[in-house]
Structure 1
């Protein structure tokens, strides 16, 4: 692979111009570029994808996603549940959106599944409690308050990654100049998200004392 890269630089007359090589994060590509001595730039979009995929494999998050996936799959397979969802969407004034089931190879589908679940959570809960649905199943239940809070934090944390990924994908010929501002914005957004989550946990563990009248 290193020889192929060297031959390409000769063919394109780049040997005297200190070229940079952009690749994914595969180990063989990293070694190949190191052997050439050229500057190596890892694909930013691929880095975002790897980081997001790794986050989704955190055990607690993986279990949460699995529970939401099970609920979403149930509504897709059950006609009674799907009808009950539509009825409750109308009653609660929620958008008539179908639930989304994630796809393993697309990390953003997990984000979309969680976001859609949170949007429709009141209708989902009502539908699962309806007599028509309870006749067909008794082992499907919605998330508890802690799970809902965790799902909200996950969506909040992943949204900047989704925005950055979409920006990279919208560019037909993205240049290295777009990476620095995106990276800076990601650091800012994720830091804010962590601080907000920490403050929320502190409030949950130490609620303010009621003020007594004197």
Structure 2
């Protein structure tokens, strides 16, 4: 899937912000200059909801939260050099460095689901078998804990996300789809553990003997 990826980026700066404190005069001059520098290069400046909120600057879906310690947010790769050049022109602050972290994708829910299929369908069942593997057939693992761990490893960041639960959204749909398929074929064996709060769903990978019995191997 050829989809544009943005990069979660922090442009580190030095503005005199010290342990959460900066004089009101310095703050005003800093924000005034940041607004001017970015507006001059075609960025849209958006003010915060409240008086003391930091402004944001936008260019398409590139979005930077302008704090006196760093300007941060998802940035189109082609915009990184532009932002760096803008920051080198600052007089109320000094540009220090650029730190880049996770990719952020501009995908719909269905496109995100398709991404997981495209990237992981060839290997995902092996991941499930390894994740639910136990030493003996009478030992099981917590189903939800294992599924959450798998989902957390696969999950990508998108502009749409509102919930940061690892197994929510399209990645949760994908994980459940594979899980249910493997339970249906007998490759995973379900069970329940009785606890004070009710029945805890548990699961394990089928043994070689069990798989042979259902003609999987």
Q: TM exceeds 0.5?
A: no
Which structure's residues are more often helix, by fraction? 1
The TM-score with structure 2 as length reference comes to 0.27
The normalised TM-score by structure 1 is: 0.27
Higher relative contact order (CA 8 A, sep 6+): 2
